[in-house]
Structure 1
Amino acid sequence: MNLLFAAVLLLYCRYNAIRTHDHSDHECQSQGVRNCGECLAVGPHCAWCAEENFLEVGQHMWERCDTASALLRRGCPLDRLEDPRGATVLLKNLKVTFHPKEQRHQQQHRQVTQLQPQSVLLHLRPGEPQSFEVKFKRVEDYPIDLYYLMDMSFTMEDDLPSVMKLGADLVEEMKNTTSDFRMGFGAFVDKTVMPYISTAEDKLRNPCKRTEPWPCAPPFTYHHVLSLTANGSLFTELVGEQRISGNLDLPEGGLDALMQAAVCEEQIGWRNVTRLLVFSTDGGFHFAGDGKLGGIVLPNDGKCHLHENVYTQANFQDYPSVTHIAEILRQKNIQIIFAVTKEVSHLYEGLRSIFPKCAVGTLSNNSHNILQIIVDAYNALTSEVVMENSKLPAGYHISYTSHCKDHRPMHGEQGRRCSNISIGDEVSFNVSITAPLCVTASQRPSRVIIKPQGYSEEVEVLLSPICECSCQKDAAPHSPSCSHGNGTLECGACRCKEGRVGTFCECNQAELSEVVDPYLCHRDNVSGVCSGHGECVCGKCVCHKSSKKPNHAYYGQFCECSDFSCDHYQGLQCGGHGRCVCGVCVCLPGFSGQACECPLSLESCLSQDRHVCAGRGDCHCGTCVCHDDRFQGPTCELCPSCPSVCTLHRECILCRAFSLGLNHMECEMRCAHLNLTLLGQANDLATVTPSSGHRCMEVDSEGCRVHFLLRTGQRRVHVHVALERECPSGPDVILITAVLSASVVVLGVALLLLWKLLTNIHDRREFARFQRELEQRRWTRVDNPIYKSAITTVVNPKYKEQ
């Protein structure tokens, strides 16, 4: 009894799951599907019925493939329904570390976990996304490895003392963050060939040409000085022993040193913890292709070439490219801090968009602020988490939704990152992966890695696409159900042997072509096989049937008949007034036409006065055809271009009631059909009973408004006319005259004032000019134009002054 109850409960749960996943009967386009595996590949909402007797004769194999709810409605047993769903299985799910560092020391527990889960298996139905949650917690006392890579060219001489003091100071400062901190040191200059350095013998010994206070070190490419250690005093001691070197050109060989520091994990001593690399310089860098200047054309191989802590391939391999360095840093989970001078900071700022986790700090003149740069950069780098993944298999799609400290979900590229994360904060990312359609019947599981940038911890995701049905494992070769063993019964359907055809493999293809007349399935010489609506099986037509639309079926000897291919009217087959029989409408009583669109009754053609088409047309197929093109409407009552009924009787009413317009004789002849009733005022028209009719208002030849009520009978027109006309009052002559006179007077006065003003201005200007001319007449004797002096002066040209 308990087992029976459990089985019923299991089937009920599965049915509910099917209803939950099944959204619409039209989301499974299964036409052409040949087996259960192909059905699953069509879409995430398709299911397969493996019941052997599910299909009827004439139905296609692909009709076993439909949405789960549709198959259940069509009678497929629930236990014979193949509808596998995707699932998420957590293979390794260690919780993130939450113990404070004091408790962890007491328990001697050094394993720290910041990322959960660690391994996930996804069973993926093609087209159906599967999601899981990834948690990240920035735990307290997480171990840190820091490697300091310094430019030792001559221009960095004043920075070396600050770096010497860095060891003890940095160890002391990092105690606030972690109790497990290690640091190392390396130095670089450039390749030791022309034109990067001088190859003169004395320059190779001492590139600086000095002996005091000490000579410079011979040029080198990269020296690994100190492996990662927790001994800050040793760092200070070894850095203090370093000597500045020199080179010729301004760019340095920093990328060579950066590559070796990243890939030589064993020599450097990198652990699977937070990895920081500080790159300190005051110059730019050579990159891939620059080696040709020194005759070096072999590309950088990205491998470790340290021998006795010296880079040995510097003069044989070119500089690495920037993208090559970025990819190596990503693989090795190294976060880089550029501590550079202000003059070159813009160059390294440009690398932030290329390198995975990168910070840039500006050095002071003698690098005394290097400690603060490292601390600030570490806090900035570790306060942001950016999720990344390895390359997905072809066709797969991944998306992220972040839930950061503000608890607001973010999608797209913003869904990959969370910022402003402090120690102890926990954030989560919802990861959704969708598989493509299955290319083959069976696909091997693939693998993708999800990890936060700059961290060694990762989530391994195994992708297992669901491309097969469970019933395929139970296939029965040579099944008696397939015409005495002529096929394999797989998931309720027969897969015929070569040379056998038919739903149950009942026909021999070779015998069929030789014995059976090929025209047995043709209605005539011009029609197709089974009229194009069926298949010729063993010389007989098997007509198509649709499981989704059972009423859409073909029948007849050659599948020539159907009850859904008749003419439509107003969107309805046979206009909704008949039934379709073998492609022809059989109309109900009272209707006719190919689509039963014509009612035999005249009811739809009657106007308001119960006349057929208002007496102005004929009724054809329930619609009025008007005799006069001016009349319109369903019953020929509308005439937009015709005068109104009020205007039509205006002249007769004016001549009969007011003796205006037509002469007496003409009025008697044309207006005898009017039955006139005279009333006093226009308000009296409202008291006329019955009130139905046309209330009219027309204007007579004197401009007065005439009100009347008009009712049309079968032979005469009844009119009630109000004798009191509304005539407009004449103009007020006195007022108009007074206004015009006043306007003329005011205008005249204004013109006089304007003339007086202009005259006054003109007189003042003339008087001022007169005064100026009068002043000019008062000249001196010298200025008098008619004055001549009485003295004559003569100069002797031959006189020479002694």
Structure 2
Amino acid sequence: MGLSSSRQDDLEKMKSLGTDLMLEMKKITSDFRIGFGYFVKKTATPHVGTSPTMIQKTCTNEQNCFIYKNVLSLTNNGNLFNELVGKVQYPDSPDSADGGLHAIEQVAVCEEQIGWRNVTRVLVFSADAGFQFSKNGKPDRFLLPNDEKCHLENNVYTTMSHYYDHLSLANLARTLSENNIQTIFAVTEDLQSDYKELKNLIPKSVVETLSTDSKNAAQMIVNAYHSLSSEVILDTSKLPEGVTISYKSHCKNGISDTGQNGRKCSNVSIGDEVKFDISITAHKCSKKDHEKIKLKSLGFTKEVDILLRFICECDCYDKGIPNSPECSDGNGKFECGVCRCNEGYIGKRCTCNIAKMNVEDMDAFCRKDNSSEICSNNGDCICGECVCKKRENPNEVYSGKYCECDNFNCDRSNGLICGGNGVCECRKCKCYESFTGTACDCSLDIKPCESMFGQICNDKGFCICGRCKCLDGFQGPTCEMCPTCPGVCSEHWDCVECRLFNKGRKKDVCNQECNFFRLVVVNSLEQIPQPGQEHEITYCKEKNADKWFTFAISNTSGDIVVHVLSTPGI
């Protein structure tokens, strides 16, 4: 937490945060710990004025000249948290903008002093000002580059903070990732835009709105925790030069993506399974025999080591098979999985005899029919076989005997190929289960069409692509309303309204005309009887002022009962 003379009311509210948060988090996990530290304005040139008055305000004595203090290492004692926070003194200093990133760095790298364990790690950062950082990784001319090491002495970051510059944002993001720390930036409304820009640079982080007196801190942290824990984001260590990695995600409900979005899946719950396809490409040979990269999911402690071995030259040339049957019955040498053609032969399998080759005849083999372009104009005809062109995007490919297929010219919905609900195969969408349509934009899920009573579109319409198409006169998400339909619902509603509220068209004749049924008020839909052989049920929804009331009319051998749900809808 950043402390300044303006944050006294925030600290007062934080005094009860320990026990409040412990109670809330115990609903989520049985093993929760909490700690506390605060940071102040940096007291070194050029971050503070050099006048005696300013120095006295920010650094009253040698022992108090610090940026960050770890007040309480991680503990399961919420009462101790409250007690120690209550003893913190408010510094007479201006905003703490330039101390914040220093504090984050020390909390991240000082694993033993903070008390981090091999579990989910969450850092809640609260400040009343923006942040300062080393621009482009270039240190301030007055300070040394940050060494990214722990410098807490007796839980205080003091002397070294005057010598080291801030971390660059890229290095800060890497430090948090390497230490498996997820960050919650809890700031007031006026600072949201600044910290949302910071969030975009730091994976596995969220920005939450903190009330001006921090009274919503506990619930805000719980909400942010749920948000962080519902995302799976892959990350790798620094890649060797010339090596690239691409991702393809397979998330819930058949959602799939590539590129940067292929690194993550959202809305993941406990028990859900998500998968990722990973492709690693070496664009040039490394000077080392092998390289190692680490792959992990941000926020989780387990990681995978991937050992890369580079084959710069094949060592199998001397082991090739001369005149191999793999090469068109002996027209070449089969080396390293490919054919090296004998003189006078060409082609992938050395099928073409140059001396006998007729170009026009070869081209004919590369046309689907006489009116077609050679290789569908998407490839080259080499020895009577189409070799399809490559595209700039490696995920977009031409395929097929005549290069007539591709995986990127399918119908789109919401800007996504196959609506994101299928894969594009030979220019046609192959939809995932529960989706159909040329762009896989038609859901087969009928659950959205079910009424509150379990009927499909209230039997007044048809469920098409996950939405109700209502019969004439009916409307609403499940065809539950019919404003122009006079009938049993509207007739009974006049009497229900006068008996419940002493209002409506039959208010003055309620006793005379509205005693033909028994009225029962229920608290939930489960208390409304279901249709059966012995009685008919009519479900109704009528409006009183700006509220909709749900009720059901049952008729058992002339005995009419109206059940009304006590809680209205909007």
Determine if the alignment matches structure 1 residue 329 to structure 2 residue 128. Answer: no
Contiguous gaps of at least 5 residues in structure 1? 1-149, 210-216, 473-488, 494-542, 554-562, 574-802
* Structure 2 letter corresponding to 1:246: D
Determine if the alignment matches structure 1 residue 287 to structure 2 residue 133. Answer: yes
Determine if the alignment matches structure 1 residue 444 to structure 2 residue 289. Answer: yes
Question: Hey, what's the Cα distance between the residues in 1 that align with 2:119 and 2:284?
Answer: 39
Aligned 8 A contact 2:95 2:129 in 1: no
Report the equivalent of 2:86: 240
Question: Hey, what's the Cα distance between the residues in 2 that align with 1:290 and 1:449?
Answer: 25
CA distances 1:257-299 after superposition (whole Å, capped 9, x unpaired): 1111111111111122211111111112232269999983222
Question: Hey, what's the Cα distance between the residues in 2 that align with 1:424 and 1:460?
Answer: 25
Report the equivalent of 1:68: none
1:453 CA drift (Å): 2.0
Relative to structure 1, the CA distance from residue 403 to residue 296 in structure 2 (aligned partners, 3 Å threshold; closer, same or farther) is same
Question: Hey, what's the Cα distance between the residues in 2 that align with 1:276 and 1:254?
Answer: 16
Question: Hey, what's the Cα distance between the residues in 1 that align with 2:258 and 2:138?
Answer: 46
The 5 A counterparts of 1:365-444 are 365-434=212-281, 444=289
* Structure 2 letter corresponding to 1:179: S
Report the equivalent of 2:149: 303
Relative to structure 1, the CA distance from residue 236 to residue 572 in structure 2 (aligned partners, 3 Å threshold; closer, same or farther) is closer
Report the equivalent of 1:113: none
SS class of match (2:142): coil
Report the equivalent of 2:202: 355
Relative to structure 1, the CA distance from residue 403 to residue 545 in structure 2 (aligned partners, 3 Å threshold; closer, same or farther) is closer
CA distances 1:165-200 after superposition (whole Å, capped 9, x unpaired): 111111111111111111111111112246655667
Relative to structure 1, the CA distance from residue 296 to residue 388 in structure 2 (aligned partners, 3 Å threshold; closer, same or farther) is same
Relative to structure 1, the CA distance from residue 202 to residue 431 in structure 2 (aligned partners, 3 Å threshold; closer, same or farther) is closer
Question: Hey, what's the Cα distance between the residues in 2 that align with 1:320 and 1:549?
Answer: 59
Relative to structure 1, the CA distance from residue 355 to residue 491 in structure 2 (aligned partners, 3 Å threshold; closer, same or farther) is same
CA distances 1:118-176 after superposition (whole Å, capped 9, x unpaired): xxxxxxxxxxxxxxxxxxxxxxxxxxxxxxxx111111111001111111111111111
Question: Hey, what's the Cα distance between the residues in 1 that align with 2:136 and 2:98?
Answer: 11
Match of 1:461 among 276, 281, 306: 306
* Structure 1 letter corresponding to 2:303: E
Relative to structure 1, the CA distance from residue 366 to residue 208 in structure 2 (aligned partners, 3 Å threshold; closer, same or farther) is farther
The 5 A counterparts of 1:403-802 are 403-434=250-281, 444-465=289-310, 491=320, 544-546=343-345, 552=353, 564=356, 571=360
* Structure 2 letter corresponding to 1:355: I
Aligned 8 A contact 1:401 1:410 in 2: yes
Question: Hey, what's the Cα distance between the residues in 2 that align with 1:274 and 1:425?
Answer: 18
Relative to structure 1, the CA distance from residue 199 to residue 231 in structure 2 (aligned partners, 3 Å threshold; closer, same or farther) is farther
1:250 CA drift (Å): 6.7
1:415 CA drift (Å): 2.3
Aligned 8 A contact 1:342 1:363 in 2: yes
SS class of match (2:29): coil
SS class of match (2:253): coil
Report the equivalent of 2:23: 172
Report the equivalent of 2:550: none
Relative to structure 1, the CA distance from residue 399 to residue 198 in structure 2 (aligned partners, 3 Å threshold; closer, same or farther) is closer
Relative to structure 1, the CA distance from residue 235 to residue 435 in structure 2 (aligned partners, 3 Å threshold; closer, same or farther) is same
* Structure 2 letter corresponding to 1:361: E
Question: Hey, what's the Cα distance between the residues in 2 that align with 1:457 and 1:409?
Answer: 24
CA distances 1:705-741 after superposition (whole Å, capped 9, x unpaired): xxxxxxxxxxxxxxxxxxxxxxxxxxxxxxxxxxxxx
* Structure 2 letter corresponding to 1:234: L
Question: Hey, what's the Cα distance between the residues in 2 that align with 1:328 and 1:271?
Answer: 17
Match of 1:261 among 107, 124, 142: 107
Report the equivalent of 2:515: none
Relative to structure 1, the CA distance from residue 491 to residue 225 in structure 2 (aligned partners, 3 Å threshold; closer, same or farther) is same
* Structure 2 letter corresponding to 1:161: E
Question: Hey, what's the Cα distance between the residues in 2 that align with 1:422 and 1:404?
Answer: 11
Question: Hey, what's the Cα distance between the residues in 1 that align with 2:137 and 2:307?
Answer: 43
* Structure 1 letter corresponding to 2:266: S
Report the equivalent of 1:161: 12
Aligned 8 A contact 1:218 1:245 in 2: no
Aligned 8 A contact 2:126 2:186 in 1: yes
Comparing 383-392 and 259-268, the one that deviates more = 383-392
The 5 A counterparts of 1:4-403 are 150-193=1-44, 196-197=47-48, 218=64, 220-248=66-94, 251-288=97-134, 296-311=142-157, 312-403=159-250
TM-align CA RMSD: 3.8
* Structure 1 letter corresponding to 2:73: S
**Residue-pair matches, total:** 339
Relative to structure 1, the CA distance from residue 293 to residue 196 in structure 2 (aligned partners, 3 Å threshold; closer, same or farther) is farther
CA distances 1:374-433 after superposition (whole Å, capped 9, x unpaired): 111111111111112234444444332222120243333332211111222222222233
SS class of match (2:208): strand
SS class of match (2:22): helix
